[in-house]
């Protein structure tokens, strides 16, 4: 693991400016003091900062008891409230455990995964372990009163219009058929799914750590409320852009066979949206998304 930085790492600062824009610089100027103030009020000694994440600052410290803790400072109020709600809902079951929170500084106090920031080394059978653990996030239905947005609303208001807008300029990256299919499938999925599971909705590899027992722990959600099939699809498409989409789809089919067809549909919408984003930003990752879109698994989707 990379050593902790005594102050805010340059890499973290740059990523937050890229994510939020230059207006975040004022918040960044205060964040070390805010972390120190929250730590002091909770009898925590701050050991330093972990150079990770795009949307938050991650401090690492210890309670007077010796218990290690993450102090996660989140500048966006909605994101802070939504992550707090999701972690509270899961209660440390497969997800990182929320110890407490400071609404004034918007800092979450979260139990450290493993013995160091970043968790234990990823085991060789990591994808099988994740496939076994993922259903546990979706076991308890979400009550109606939550600050976490619905997947349906997010897709209708944000994702589908974004696909259509970017496709008008960069549609050749995925093909007209795939754009239309993604839009049609997305609309159908939003119209028919009434499930209310708490979704992680951001299942990149860096958001799935392993504890000292090599058990997967899901961290840093960007939560939504909706169908578990979306989480499976996100994991299959984005966990790692390593050409192993088909392997993860097979694991999905073996663990949650009833969701398989819906996972494929969500996967197409995610891959098309991702390819258009990467194309618009001139990133090489577009090739990985094109491989997913052209995979035999998605070729079976009805047109």
Residues 14 and 139 in one domain: no
Together in a domain, 164 and 202: yes
Residue 273 lies in a domain: yes
pLDDT in tens, the chain (303 residues): 567 999 999 999 999 999 999 999 999 999 999 999 999 999 999 999 999 989 999 999 999 999 999 999 999 999 999 999 999 999 999 999 999 999 999 999 999 999 889 999 999 999 999 999 999 999 999 988 899 999 999 999 999 999 999 999 999 999 999 999 999 999 999 998 788 999 999 999 999 999 999 999 999 999 999 999 999 999 999 999 999 999 999 999 999 999 999 999 999 999 999 999 999 999 999 999 999 999 999 998 887
pLDDT of residue 143: 83
Same domain? 201 vs 257: yes
CATH number assigned to the domain comprising residue 188? 3.90.1200.10
Query: What predicted TM-score, i.e. pTM, was given to this entire model?
Result: 0.95
- What pLDDT shows up at residue 1? 54
Instruction: Look at residues 67, 70, 94, 72 and name the one whose alpha carbon lies nearest to residue 83.
Output: 72
Same domain, 28 and 100: yes
Domain final residue pick, 111, 144, 170 = 111
pLDDT value of position 192: 87
Same domain, 53 and 199: no
Which range of residues forms the domain containing residue 94? 10-111
């Amino acid at each position: 693991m990379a050593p902790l930085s005594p102050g805010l790492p340059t890499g973290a600062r740059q990523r937050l400016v890229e994510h939020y824009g230059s207006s975040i610089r004022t918040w960044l100027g205060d964040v070390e003091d805010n972390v120190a103030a929250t730590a002091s009020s909770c009898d925590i000694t701050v050991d330093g900062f972990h150079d990770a994440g795009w949307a938050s600052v991650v401090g690492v410290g210890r309670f007077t008891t010796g218990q290690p803790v993450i102090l996660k400072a989140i500048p966006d109020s909605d994101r802070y409230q939504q992550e707090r709600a999701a972690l509270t809902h899961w209660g440390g079951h497969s997800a990182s455990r929320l110890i407490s929170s400071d609404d004034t500084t918007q800092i979450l106090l979260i139990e450290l995964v493993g013995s160091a920031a970043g968790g234990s080394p990823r085991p060789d059978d990591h994808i099988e372990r994740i496939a076994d653990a993922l259903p546990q996030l979706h076991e308890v239905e979400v009550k109606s009163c939550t600050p976490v947005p619905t997947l349906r609303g997010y897709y209708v208001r944000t994702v589908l219009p974004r696909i259509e807008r970017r496709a008008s300029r960069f549609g050749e990256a995925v093909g007209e058929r795939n754009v239309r299919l993604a839009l049609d499938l997305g609309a159908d999925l939003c119209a028919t799914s009434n499930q209310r599971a708490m979704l992680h909705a951001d299942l990149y590899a860096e958001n799935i750590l392993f504890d000292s027992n090599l058990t997967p722990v899901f961290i840093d959600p960007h939560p939504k409320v909706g169908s578990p099939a979306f989480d499976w699809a996100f994991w299959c498409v984005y966990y790692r852009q390593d050409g192993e989409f088909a392997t993860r789809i097979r694991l999905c089919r073996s663990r949650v066979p009833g969701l398989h067809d819906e996972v494929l549909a969500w996967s197409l919408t995610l891959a098309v949206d991702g390819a258009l984003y990467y194309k618009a930003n001139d990133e090489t990752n577009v090739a990985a998304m094109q491989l997913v879109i052209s995979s035999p698994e998605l070729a079976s989707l009805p047109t």
